[in-house]
């Protein structure tokens, strides 16, 4: 499960652990996962904008547990600001985190899933992938992209026993809004 320091990722890791499943909770800052580790949840550092970090995390999970049987792509944030005034580097960072990282991590786990003849990729999108609000164009663009990638991937990997699920939640109580507001100048 990626992006477990707060919100949906943390809640997902806890729910899966409580259901008796082996969970590897990840975040850019592993110290943010100390309380999950104290509960017996395995934790790893994972930055979805770093090829080295993603490769190392997948290698570690595969060494410890065999192939990744379920990948929950949750890491992300909401860049806020008008299209005209948002720095292009911030736009790149948004897409790198919310789309490119999700795609690359999925690419890294698919060979193991295919070899096992089973697996599941769960992509956490957003209702914001279905419509757009002013000031959120780049976040919404990233979630539209997650929807499109999920739809294509679902058809591409089905013959190999791999299922793809897209979850598009609405507003939830978490630190997500605080993070989005922090992106405003």
Q: Which of 16, 86, 99, 139 is catalytic?
A: 139
Beta bridge partners, 86, equal: none
Nearest-angstrom CA–CA distance, 156 and 174: 34
| Residue the block writes with tokens 């992300």 | 76
Task: Specify burial of residue 77 (Cβ count, 10 A radius: 0-12, 13-18, 19+).
Answer: middle
Q: Check if 77 is active-site.
A: no
Cα R_g (the chain), whole angstroms: 16
Which DSSP string do the residues of 63-111 spell out, in sequence order?
HHHSS-SEEEE-------S-TTTS-HHHHHHHHIIIIIHHHHHHHHHHH
Q: Which helix (H) or strand (E) holds 120?
A: strand 119-124
Catalytic residues: 139
């Amino acid at each position: 499960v990626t992006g477990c320091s707060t919100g949906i990722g943390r809640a997902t890791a806890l729910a899966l652990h409580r259901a008796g499943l082996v969970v590897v909770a990840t975040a850019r800052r592993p110290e943010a996962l100390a309380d999950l580790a104290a509960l017996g949840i395995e934790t790893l550092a994972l930055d979805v904008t770093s090829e080295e970090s993603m490769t190392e995390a997948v290698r570690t999970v595969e060494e410890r547990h065999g192939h990744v049987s379920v990948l929950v792509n949750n890491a992300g944030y909401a860049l806020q600001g008008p299209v005209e005034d948002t720095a292009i580097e911030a736009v790149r960072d948004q897409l790198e985190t919310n789309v490119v990282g999700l795609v690359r991590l999925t690419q890294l786990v698919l060979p193991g899933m295919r070899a096992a003849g089973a697996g599941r990729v769960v992509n956490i999108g957003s209702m914001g992938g279905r419509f757009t609000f002013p000031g959120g164009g780049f976040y919404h663009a990233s979630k539209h992209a997650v929807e499109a990638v999920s739809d294509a991937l679902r058809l591409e990997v089905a013959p190999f026993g791999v299922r793809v699920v897209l979850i598009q939640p609405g507003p939830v109580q978490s630190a997500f809004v605080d993070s989005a507001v922090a992106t405003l100048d």
